[in-house]
Amino acid sequence: MRRLAALLALCAGLWFAPVVAAEQVVAGLSRSDVAITARFEGSDILVFGAVRREVPIPEGAPLEVIVTVQGPSEPVVVRRKSRLFGIWVNTDAVTIDRAPTFYAVASTAPLADILAPDEDARWRISVPRAVLSFTEERGGDGPRGAFTEALLRIRTAQGSYQALPGTAGMEQQTLFRADIGLPANLTEGSYRTRIFLTRDGRVVDRFETPITVRKVGLERWLFNLSRRQPLAYGLLAIALAAAAGWAAATGFRLWSR
């Protein structure tokens, strides 16, 4: 009985033991904190790392790397304009519950060549899949889907959503790097960074780490004041506007003399 119990315990341990990937990501970031100041004009994040193996490199299709950076999700109102009586006015609007304020995906090759569609659907890697997945439960094929498609198109044109095929590099199927450019109009919060290894279109391993974006200095103080003490913030804004007007009027009067 003891031998049978030990055998059953061993089988259970093997059954429930975690599966270790043959190829694993070991990665890092050039910086994990981004400070927003009055002179902030954007920032570049370098994602770098290596592939750890316990066995020789498998033969066949080469290993590929995909890096995604996703900003905080917020509600957004998308409006449709129509021409009425010779002028353009907002005639319809849809509130999307949440959508990423920023999303970028860099890869060693076009995603269609290195990522199977079902893997994209599972991990929500490509820009359309990552953004449109937020509204799939609400009927993405109807009118709401058209507004979401418009949001995707507008933010892609603004640079908030970026597809960067071929910008990630892989050396000897072991060392990799990717550069992600963060725009100046960043939203404060935690940015989700993911790294995927793919072979034959399948994800063989992944790694995730956050990037913290926050305001510092005077910008942080004003932001907190506007949220916690809106009355004081409003009075301060009025006082600064009045002081600026008085200084401009005084300077002009002195100059005219």
- What is the percentage of the chain residues whose pLDDT exceeds 90? 39
pLDDT of amino acid 96: 81
Does residue 7 carry a pLDDT above 60?
no
pLDDT of amino acid 51: 94
pLDDT tier for residue 18 given thresholds of 50, 70 and 90: very low
Rounded CA-CA distance 219/210 in Å is 23
**Neighbour tally for 145: CB within 10 Å:** 16
pLDDT tier for residue 19 given thresholds of 50, 70 and 90: very low
Does residue 86 carry a pLDDT above 70?
yes
Residue of 46, 50, 44 whose CA lies nearest to 171: 50
CATH architecture of the domain with range 21-214: Sandwich (2.60)
Does residue 9 carry a pLDDT above 80?
no
Give the relative orientation of helices 217-228 and 230-256 as an angle to the nearest 10 degrees. 120
| CA distance to 143, 223, 236, 241, 244, per residue, from 231 (Å) | 40, 13, 9, 15, 20
* Contact assessment for residue 166 and residue 110, using Cβ atoms and an 8 Å cutoff: yes
Mean pLDDT across 21-37: 83
Task: Write a three-state SS string for 90-153.
Answer: EEEEEEEEEEECCEEEEECCCHHHHCCHHHHHHHCCCHHHHHHHHHHHHCCCCHHHHHHHHHHH
Mean pLDDT across 141-161: 81
Question: What are the structure tokens assigned to 212, written together?
Answer: 């913290």
Question: What are the structure tokens assigned to 26, written together?
Answer: 């070991």
Mean pLDDT across 221-241: 71
Ranked by mean pLDDT, the top range of 40-44, 61-65, 95-99 is 61-65
107-143 confidence digits (pLDDT tens)? 999 999 999 999 999 999 999 888 876 655 444 445 5
pLDDT of amino acid 25: 93
Question: Which position has the token pair 């913030």?
Answer: 233
More confident residue, 1 or 121: 121
pLDDT of amino acid 102: 95
Residue of 210, 182, 226 whose CA lies nearest to 40: 182
* Contact assessment for residue 119 and residue 198, using Cβ atoms and an 8 Å cutoff: yes
